[in-house]
A and B are shown apart, each in its own frame.
Chain A
């Protein structure tokens, strides 16, 4: 058995009668960047707090670095944590914020100094060391908060929505910096977010969570292109995946309005019986127009209803098989409302789900 950096085994957590986490299993490899993704209230932050030891679990075990830390105090688990609200100690300077944990542990002065200056150098906050948190901008504060985890010299970093309080530009800057930090330190990082862009850009693997259960645990490409169920398919991707409801009969999918879509190119993971109620999901960028249409198994003439220019590309709203559908085209393609044109897609790039179980077929 390979050594996992963090291993969560059959973890459950109840608050009274409310089950927040249920029989959760998760193994995280050394140096892996795992993102826990889900809407608020799905239990992702709770799971992180359990790993940190800030919440007592109801059942199950947590291993960090091969050691059972289920009953250990947070400080003894070999973790550093970064919070959404930064949680810097307001009355201490940056330097004392960074060194607080080390001073509490009674570390020698020169060692503290060495670690603080290394963290400050990595995060480029040397000029800020003598300032108080109120004198810092949001991005600087979050950097200090990361530094506080850094000086602890731990194997596992926990991030609890670290970028959610920042504005859009800073968020993308710091996102890159966190990625750079991970490439440099090669620590295990567990990162909680509700932002799918952060998840897709940062993660080695994403765990999509819902109601305290991990729906899918996979690399970003698989999560995006082969979602295991309707929930994951709908949660990831903006704009949302287009969903067509209908019936599956061998190699054809009959939509509710009678449109027949050939799905012979689709690779089924589980064979479906004839007459199975199913949902066909197609991402907006997989619907094509122009010359590419000829190569598509399914084509239809449609009328453009709404055009949304996004700068880098353009979104168009229309109806396919009687359902409202969006598709994405290059921003140079000129589309006008009321314009008629032929579009098509290949179901092989889409996803088919069983309507009843909501699982991928």
Chain B
């Protein structure tokens, strides 16, 4: 019975279709949409302009720069300014270029990022799962710490660091970066762990795992996405830092940003704009590369932190 009915109805279908809209709605390009694209392209060009100026300037020799056509592609491309910025540019009395600063920045960034993330992950884990007395107060204080302007605490920190003999040393600058990274990183990890089902933790406890076993065997492997976010935040944050580097790092550990500033602000002789531009691009290259390489992971990690593991 059913089959005959279906057959009959499908036979009629052809004639039942009327003129007019049918199926998926066609996509049309409206004037409003074109306007939006034009605006977006112009905005993108506008924001790319400084980078363009920097790149072309860094590839020009000084006489060409003095012609003042700052947007023009160089008539004669030279890599001399890049070499000079890296190798021989003078920061004060030393003329070794950005090289030593680069190595210092790498050291500070790698060690600082690693230590602050390990501590923050532990903090977040303990705050989410081992509900000890005062945990919420401590968390509140930590979050509050994120809103304290750095400048307010710098002087007391200088005194403190001097008293324990770490002022102007490598451990000193690492401790400073760890302290200032802690509020935001702890917040990140705590919220990630708090979004995990609490039963996971309970199951692990019934299984007999302790504080460290649960942390390393269960929580750390799950926290990969949020760790990537933390790494990106810390790497760019520490690399771009100028204030703490100037104040706490000391002469031997001076990071690249501080050195860049010294090169650009050296007042003797001609202002070598091409060298300055090359030095700036070199300094900015690392965080830029981190963003390009990890952009996808960053978005994924943020989404994982916001929704669930």
Residues of A within 8 A of B (CB): 49, 52, 54, 73-75, 79-81, 83-91, 100-101, 104-105, 145, 148, 152, 160
Assess whether B106 is interfacial by the CB under 8 Å rule.
no
Contact partner of B221 (CB less than 8 A), chosen from A73, A83, A91, is: A91
For A85, the chain B residues whose CB sits under 8 A away are: 197, 199
**Taking CB as reference atom, which chain B residue is nearest A149?**
B206
For A73, the chain B residues whose CB sits under 8 A away are: 205, 208
A88 to B309, CA, bound (A): 13
Using A79-B206, A86-B199 as known contacts, list a sample of 10 further A-B pairs with CB atoms less than 8 Å apart, ordered by residue number in A. A52-B206, A73-B205, A74-B202, A75-B205, A75-B206, A87-B202, A88-B203, A89-B203, A89-B218, A91-B218
Write out, one digit per residue, whether chain B residues 197-218 have a CB within 8 A of any chain A CB (1) or not (0): 1011011111111000100011
13 A-B pairs with CB atoms under 8 Å apart are: A52-B206, A75-B207, A81-B202, A81-B206, A87-B202, A89-B217, A89-B218, A90-B222, A91-B218, A101-B206, A101-B207, A104-B207, A105-B208
| Nearest Cβ on chain B to A47's Cβ, whole angstroms | 15
B207-A100 in contact (CB<8A)? yes
| Nearest Cβ on chain B to A71's Cβ, whole angstroms | 15
A83-B222 in contact (CB<8A)? no
Write out, one digit per residue, whether chain B residues 96-116 have a CB within 8 A of any chain A CB (1) or not (0): 000000000000000000000
**Taking CB as reference atom, which chain A residue is nearest B208?**
A75
For B200, the chain A residues whose CB sits under 8 A away are: 87, 89
A104 to B218, CA, bound (A): 12
A104 to B199, CA, bound (A): 18
Q: A87-B197, A90-B222 are in contact. Are A81 and B203 (CB under 8 A)?
A: yes
A105 to B222, CA, bound (A): 22
| Nearest Cβ on chain B to A33's Cβ, whole angstroms | 20
Contact partner of B202 (CB less than 8 A), chosen from A80, A83, A152, is: A83
Contact partner of A84 (CB less than 8 A), chosen from B199, B208, B221, is: B199
A74 to B201, CA, bound (A): 12
B207-A83 in contact (CB<8A)? no
CB contacts under 8 Å to A, within B205-264, are: 205-209, 213, 217-218, 221-222
Q: A90-B222, A91-B222, A104-B213 are in contact. Are A80 and B199 (CB under 8 A)?
A: no
A211 to B142, CA, bound (A): 37
**Taking CB as reference atom, which chain A residue is nearest B209?**
A104
> How many residues does chain B have at the interface if contact means C-beta atoms less than 8 Å apart?
17
Q: A85-B199, A91-B222 are in contact. Are A54 and B205 (CB under 8 A)?
A: yes
For B204, the chain A residues whose CB sits under 8 A away are: 89, 100
A101-B199 in contact (CB<8A)? no
For B203, the chain A residues whose CB sits under 8 A away are: 81, 83, 87-89, 145, 148
A79 to B208, CA, bound (A): 11
Residues of B within 8 A of A (CB): 197, 199-200, 202-209, 213, 217-218, 221-222, 309
A160 to B207, CA, bound (A): 16
A277 to B209, CA, bound (A): 57
| Nearest Cβ on chain B to A72's Cβ, whole angstroms | 12
**Taking CB as reference atom, which chain A residue is nearest B205?**
A74
Q: A83-B199, A89-B200 are in contact. Are A148 and B221 (CB under 8 A)?
A: no
A145 to B205, CA, bound (A): 14
**Taking CB as reference atom, which chain B residue is nearest A49?**
B202
| Nearest Cβ on chain A to B193's Cβ, whole angstroms | 14
| Nearest Cβ on chain A to B12's Cβ, whole angstroms | 35
For A49, the chain B residues whose CB sits under 8 A away are: 202
For A81, the chain B residues whose CB sits under 8 A away are: 202-203, 206
Return the 7 tightest CB-CB contacts between A and B, nearest first: A75-B208, A101-B207, A87-B199, A87-B203, A83-B199, A91-B221, A74-B206
A85 to B203, CA, bound (A): 11
B221-A101 in contact (CB<8A)? no
A160 to B203, CA, bound (A): 11
**Taking CB as reference atom, which chain A residue is nearest B210?**
A104
For B309, the chain A residues whose CB sits under 8 A away are: 90
A100 to B218, CA, bound (A): 10
A284 to B228, CA, bound (A): 61
B209-A100 in contact (CB<8A)? yes
For A84, the chain B residues whose CB sits under 8 A away are: 199
For B217, the chain A residues whose CB sits under 8 A away are: 89, 100
For A104, the chain B residues whose CB sits under 8 A away are: 207-209, 213
A74 to B207, CA, bound (A): 8
A145 to B200, CA, bound (A): 11
For B222, the chain A residues whose CB sits under 8 A away are: 90-91
A238 to B208, CA, bound (A): 41
For B213, the chain A residues whose CB sits under 8 A away are: 104
A81 to B203, CA, bound (A): 7
A104 to B205, CA, bound (A): 10
Q: A91-B222, A104-B213 are in contact. Are A54 and B202 (CB under 8 A)?
A: yes
For B206, the chain A residues whose CB sits under 8 A away are: 52, 54, 74-75, 79-81, 101
A17 to B208, CA, bound (A): 31
A101-B202 in contact (CB<8A)? no
For A100, the chain B residues whose CB sits under 8 A away are: 204, 207, 209, 217
B199-A148 in contact (CB<8A)? no
| Nearest Cβ on chain B to A250's Cβ, whole angstroms | 55
| Nearest Cβ on chain A to B307's Cβ, whole angstroms | 14
| Nearest Cβ on chain A to B161's Cβ, whole angstroms | 40
A10 to B217, CA, bound (A): 38
A105 to B208, CA, bound (A): 7
For A80, the chain B residues whose CB sits under 8 A away are: 206
**Taking CB as reference atom, which chain B residue is nearest A84?**
B199
For A148, the chain B residues whose CB sits under 8 A away are: 203, 207
| Nearest Cβ on chain B to A290's Cβ, whole angstroms | 36
A220 to B203, CA, bound (A): 30
A89 to B221, CA, bound (A): 10
Q: Interface centre among A79, A85, A86, A104, by most B CB within 10 Å?
A: A104
